[in-house]
Amino acid sequence: MADFERRSGGAGWLCLGVLSISTLRQKELSEVIDDEMWNSMFKPVDILQQGLAASWTRNTVIRNNIANVETPGFKASEVEFESLMSQALSGTGFQGVRTHARHIEIGSGNPANVRPRIIKNESTSMRMDGNNVDIEAENVKLAQNSIYYNTLLEKMNSEIRRLRTAISEGR
């Protein structure tokens, strides 16, 4: 108890094993709470953030495809993310073992390491000039991605409200 009061400047309170988050800074709290529990508390927010970033990347790629619809020889690109994240969350993806901190990560076994992958479609051509952009399909993808992004944003706001309620102890 004396150690806790010393670290919190005597302003903290301890009651039935419950710590008041408002009296501790994040660093002090992470010393008291198990790191794994702390990380798991923010895992949904981290995953949603990755989904938002992937959706933003997909939006950029789709807009680039649309902008180049009349460019001879242009090949459309797509973003792969959801399947990679699904593999990482289910643990079915290949994961290399790092034996040194400076080694490059191999695979996506950890959801925090999943990044969107841009894939260029070289196999098809929609026109004689070699361009393979289908403007109708790209517009549908843009609308779907907009809905997906807004859905993730709403879920992110919900998670933040949930965490805020937990931190303020329901007040």
Confidence of residue 95 (pLDDT cuts 50, 70, 90): low
Plot region of 121 (φ>0 → left; ψ -120 to 50 → alpha; else → beta)? beta
> Closest Cα partner for 54 from 121, 117, 120?
117
For the segment 68-90, what is each residue's pLDDT rounded down to a tens digit? 999 999 999 999 998 888 888 88
Helix axis angle, 135-167 to 35-67, nearest 10°: 160
Average pLDDT, the chain: 77
Higher-pLDDT residue of 119, 170: 119
CA dist., res. 132 & res. 121, Å (int): 8
Confidence of residue 32 (pLDDT cuts 50, 70, 90): low
What residue spans define the domains of the chain? 1-34, 41-81+116-166
Query: 155: which residues sit within 8 A by CB, 6+ positions away?
Result: 48
pLDDT of 140 > 90? The answer is yes
Higher-pLDDT residue of 19, 168: 168
Q: Which of 9-23, 108-122, 151-165 has the highest mean pLDDT?
A: 151-165
For the segment 16-31, what is each residue's pLDDT rounded down to a tens digit? 334 444 444 555 555 5
Q: HSE (CB half, 13 Å, CA atoms) of 11?
A: 7
